[in-house]
Amino acid sequence: MQTQEKLGAKCLVGDGAHASIKRVDIGIPYLSSKNFKQAGIDLSSVSFISNNDYEKHFKVSSKALTRPQPNDLIFSIIGSIGAPYLISENDKFGISSSVAIIRPKEEVDPKFLFYYLKTDAVQNYVEAIKSGSAQGFLSLEMIRSIPLQYPRKSAQEKIASLLGTYDELMEVNDQRITVLEETARELYKEWFVRMRFPGYKMAKFEKGIPKGWEMKKIVNAFEVIGGGTPSTEKDEYWGGNINWFTPTDITGSDGIFLNEAKNCVSERGLKESSAKLFPAYSIMMTSRATIGAVGINSSIGCTNQGFITCIPNDELPYIFLYFWILFNKETFEMMASGSTFLEITKGTFKKVNILVPEKEIVKQYHNLAEPIFKQIENLQQQNTQLRQIRDRLLPRLISGKLKVKTEREELVCP
C-alpha cells in the first residue's frame, strides 16, 4: 500500500548559512550549489571554513535546520539542482544558503528518500516549479510541496537495499578505476615529467632535452580543431546520431571516457555549422570559463565552440596527450584571457611548445598504458549498464509496480 503526502509533512526542511563566512586554506569543507553534479557532490574545488566558524554558524542545538547530520539529504537549490547527497557518519560539512537540508521523520527511510528524489517524476516536478523563478531558485516552500509517495517502512528499506546493491558495485568499480588511472598517471610522470624513462641514465642530454627528443609547437605536432553550434532554430539540425559535446558533458561526467553526449546533431547540422567531426579517442579539452577539463570520446563526435580538440597520431597517441594536457592545465589557465569569461583560443593553444619524446619511448609507454585504459573503459561501461538497470528499476519499485518479495532481493510484479 502506497501513502501519498507532501514532502513537508514527513520531513524537516532547511538550508545553510545566510551569513558571509571567511574562507580558509585548510578546514571544514563548505558546500555551495557549484559542488553538486548529476553524479553527486564534487569536492575538487570545494572551499573551506575554520572550525570556529563552523561551530558558530552550524550549532547542533540551533532550532534552525542548518547543520547536516547523518541520514540528512542535501542538494543544490540554485541553478542546476544536481543529485541529492545522503550524509554519512563520517561527513562533516558546512553548507551555504544555496544548499537545502531534508531530514526525514520516523516514517520515511533516509536511503529510500534519497532514491525517491532521484526519480524522473520528482526531478521533472522540481524543474517545472523552479522554471519560473530567478536563476532557477527552489525555495524551501517549493521543496515542502514536492509530492511524496512511499510504502510501509519495511518495504522502503528493502527497496533502498536493492538499489544500494547496484551503487555498491559501481563504487567498487570506481575505486578500481581510480587505482588504474593513478597507475598510468604515475608512469607518465616518472617517464615524461621526472624524465626517468627506460635508459635515461645512458641518454645524452642537449640543453636539457634527451637526444632524439624534439621541442615542437603544437601546430607542428598534432592536429587541433575547434567546434561550433548548429542553429537551434532549425529542428532538422538536431536529433541525429552524431554526438555533440558541450563542456557540461565533460564537467558532469564521472569518468575519463564519454560514450554519448546529452545532445546529438544531424549530418546536415554538422555540415551547415562550424562544428567539426573528429575520430574516436580524441582528446576534448574545455577552453572557455572552465579551462582544461578533459574527456576522451569513445565514438566519433563533434563539440560546441567551448572546446579545443586534440587529434592523436603515431608520434603522440591519445593516452600520452591526455596526461600531457592534465599536467599542463595550469599553463593553459595562465594563458587564458577575456573580459566576460576566460578563454584560451585555438590560435594561442597552437603556439604552445610540446616536448615530443623519441618515438620508441612513446610506443613503450603506450603499450603499457593502453591495457590499463582499456580496463578503465570496460569498468565505465559496466557502471553504465548497472546504472541503467538501477534507473529502470527505480520508478517501478518506488511506485509499487515492482515489489521486493524476500530479503534475498527477489523481485515480483504485482
Q: What is the CATH number for 140?
A: 3.90.220.20
The verdict on residue 197 lying in a domain is no
The verdict on residue 188 lying in a domain is no
User: Among the three residues 308, 332, 356, which one is the final residue of a domain in this structure?
Assistant: 356
- Looking at residue 128, its pLDDT comes to 86
Confidence of residue 82 (pLDDT cuts 50, 70, 90): low
The verdict on residue 41 lying in a domain is yes
User: What is the tens place of the pLDDT at every residue in 352-385?
Assistant: 999 999 999 999 999 999 999 999 999 999 999 9
User: What is the tens place of the pLDDT at every residue in 224-279?
Assistant: 999 999 999 999 999 999 999 999 899 878 799 999 999 999 999 999 999 999 99
Residue 81 has pLDDT above 90, yes or no: no
Do residues 228 and 352 both lie within one domain? yes
Distance (Å, whole) CA 188 – CA 316:
13
Do residues 25 and 117 both lie within one domain? yes
SS3 106: coil
Distance (Å, whole) CA 357 – CA 370:
18
The verdict on residue 205 lying in a domain is no
The verdict on residue 187 lying in a domain is no
- CA nearest neighbour of 161 among 216, 110, 101: 110
- CA nearest neighbour of 91 among 110, 78, 105, 106: 110
User: Among the three residues 149, 172, 193, which one is the final residue of a domain in this structure?
Assistant: 149
Do residues 128 and 242 both lie within one domain? no
Do residues 251 and 349 both lie within one domain? yes
Residue 135 has pLDDT above 70, yes or no: no
Do residues 114 and 237 both lie within one domain? no
- What is the pTM (predicted TM-score) of this model? 0.85
- Residue holding cell 514532502? 7
Distance (Å, whole) CA 228 – CA 209:
38
The verdict on residue 399 lying in a domain is no
Number of domains in the chain: 2
The verdict on residue 180 lying in a domain is no
Residue 53's domain comprises: 3-149
User: Among the three residues 103, 128, 149, which one is the final residue of a domain in this structure?
Assistant: 149
